Each structure stands twice: as structure tokens, then as C-alpha cells.
Structure 1
Amino acid sequence: MNPDRPINLNFTLKAWSLFWLGLGLSVSSAPGQQAKNQLVGTWAPTAIYTEHKDGTKVETFGPKPAGVLTFGSDGHFSLQWMRSDLPKFAAGDRLNGTPEENQAIVQGSLSYFGTYTVDDSSITLVLHIEGCTFPNWDGKDQRRSFTLAGDKLTLSGIGTSGLPFQDELERLK
């Protein structure tokens, strides 16, 4: 520091302000962090449907879908969807269902888990599936567009049938 040169206090304050502002922005704008924080929690389905080319909507898990979708703050998720009217097995043993009972369970339920990331810029949720009751999805990524409005979450995408689907969820409290 040169003792003959006066300190420009105005410049120094501006420089420090810019430094702290920049530091704050770099910490708070981690990609996907804002939406990811809003997703954290447990959600229950209110409607799950596929839309056919003629515009008709088919309720994938019936008129009253059951289940939960949980997003952890650690980046893990778990999803279980099922029809609320699944048949009970006559034998009382899940390993001894009839072909019809087994088919109803397979077609009326879906469960998978893994990790997730969020891209705030494209409003896309990416589910990195580690395990699924439909094993063709094991190790695959599933992309979902989403909207968040308070305690309502809507996920949408293209299903394995090639048709668009929508999951409407409410936050559990």
C-alpha cells in the first residue's frame, strides 16, 4: 500500500459488494437445486393416466390410484403405484397366485427406485432407475417434465407405449 496515495473508499466498498454478491450467486444457483428442494418430500397420486391418439384418457391404475413417490434431500427416490382395487389371492399366499391373479398384480402395479436429478432450465426431472418391477427399466434414465404449484406436482412424459402420460400428485403432510 502506498502511503502517499489515498484509499478510495467508494471503490473498495463496490469491490467487496461485488465479491460477496458473486459468492452468494455461485452458492445459491447450483443447477437443479431450487426445484430439487421443492420436490423433497412424499407425494400421493390423485390421477395417473395415458392419453390415446383419439384424445381419450385411460386411467393407468384405475380411478383411485394408490401409492407414494418419495424424493429425499440426498438425491434418492422411491415410487410405488398400484390400483386400489387389486384382487386378493384366493390361496392367501403371494407365491401361489392363479395366472389371472398374477396378471392383475403385474398390470395393476409398478414400483421402482434410484436417484434423481433436476434440470431447472428445462424443468426436467431425470429418474436414474436402479431397480424396477418392470426390469427393462433397470439401469435406465426416465425423463419427466414437471410443474409444481404449492402442494400439487404434475409429471408428464412419453410411456413405453409411445403415448403421453400424466401423473397428478399431492404432497402428503
Structure 2
Amino acid sequence: MSSADDPKTARQPQPPSHAMVGTWRLVSYDVEVASTGERFPAMGERPTGYTIFSGEGRVWFMLTGDGRQPGDSDRDRAQLLETLIAYSGRYRIEGDVWVTAVDVAWNPAWVGTEQRRQFALDGDRLQVRTPWRVMPNWADKGETRSIITFERAVEG
């Protein structure tokens, strides 16, 4: 039986052949306010993080805020969750949107959801925008969206 006739092979998802495949280092994470156009650094001036798009169709996404310190108390450790975004899942590309079917996340409410992100590639820069919505962290500002910029990481 040829591999084309093998049911196991036929059911395998095809690896993405997209320019996003690879490792991307976080450059900035801003939040934009719809009503005013105001932008502010949501996780400080120098947040850290990476996103990795595998050729097999999985994405890993982890961002941490600027100036994080180890927590000594339960309260300190719980507050560290406010400066962390981390999730992984299978992804697909739909035009200029990447969609992640989340199967593990720092926030259990995301597990089993699809997270949609608009993106733009410009050489080795990747800019990601979340949909406009009222986010709990900045509910007083009305609708906001995240604008996250990465650059292709040179591993070596």
C-alpha cells in the first residue's frame, strides 16, 4: 500500500507552508483605545516573550511583563498572573488572520476556544492585533485592542 492509500497518512494535517513558521521575539506590546487612539505599553516598556509557529501546525505564545520579580507570598505569586500570557494549540491561517484552537493556557477559560489574531508580516517583523473589545484590565477605557510586535529571532 502506498503512503497515499494509507488512512493514517491521509488523515494527517498538512504542515503549514507559511512565512510565519519559525521563532519570533517580542519587541513591544501596546494597547490601543478605540475612542481616543491612545496607546500605552500594557506590560511595561520592556516586556519579554516569544511566539513559535511550527511547520507541523502548532503555535506557542508566551509574553511576560517588564520587571517581574519572584513572589514571596501567595498574593505576590497570584499577581504574577497579571503579567503573563501563555497558550498553545493548533493554528491555521485564514488570509491575514491566524486562528489558534487553544488546548493549553495560563487562563483555563481559553482552553477549548479559538483565538483569532489579525497579523501583518513586513520582512522580519510580525505585527499582531487582537479584535476590539472591552478588556477586564482596562474596562474603564471602553473598547481596546492589543497591538503586539515581534521580530524574527535569529537562533544560534
TM-score computed with the length of structure 2 as normaliser: 0.77
CA 38–160 in structure 1, closer or farther in 2 if over 3 Å, else same: farther
Question: What SS class does the counterpart of residue 37 from structure 1 fall into?
Answer: coil
1:84 Cα shift?
A: 2.9
Question: Following the alignment from structure 2 to structure 1, what is the Cα–Cα distance between the partners of residues 98 and 80?
Answer: 27
1:160 Cα shift?
A: 6.0
Structure 1: stretches of 5+ with no match in the other structure: 1-31, 91-96
Question: What SS class does the counterpart of residue 69 from structure 2 fall into?
Answer: coil
Structure number with higher helix proportion? 1
Q: How well do the aligned residues superpose, as a CA RMSD in angstroms?
A: 1.8
* Structure of greater Rg: 1
Question: Following the alignment from structure 1 to structure 2, what is the Cα–Cα distance between the partners of residues 109 and 132?
Answer: 11
Whether the 8 Å contact between 2:103 and 2:111 is mirrored in structure 1 is: yes
Structure 2: stretches of 5+ with no match in the other structure: 1-14, 136-142
Amino acid at match of 2:61: L
In structure 2, the residue matched to 1:126 is 99
CA 142–131 in structure 1, closer or farther in 2 if over 3 Å, else same: same
- Tell me which of 145, 150, 153 is aligned to 1:169: 150
Alignment of 1:69-80 (within 5 A): 69-80=51-62
In structure 2, the residue matched to 1:59 is 41
Whether the 8 Å contact between 1:87 and 1:104 is mirrored in structure 2 is: no
Number of positions where the alignment pairs a residue of Structure 1 with one of Structure 2:
131
CA 147–58 in structure 1, closer or farther in 2 if over 3 Å, else same: same
Whether the 8 Å contact between 1:86 and 1:104 is mirrored in structure 2 is: no
Summarize deviations over 1:137-168 as a string: whole Å, max 9, x none: 11101111111011000011225614221111
Question: What SS class does the counterpart of residue 163 from structure 1 fall into?
Answer: strand
1:63 Cα shift?
A: 0.8
Question: What SS class does the counterpart of residue 109 from structure 2 fall into?
Answer: helix
In structure 1, the residue matched to 2:129 is 156
- Tell me which of 49, 63, 69 is aligned to 1:81: 63
TM-score computed with the length of structure 1 as normaliser: 0.70
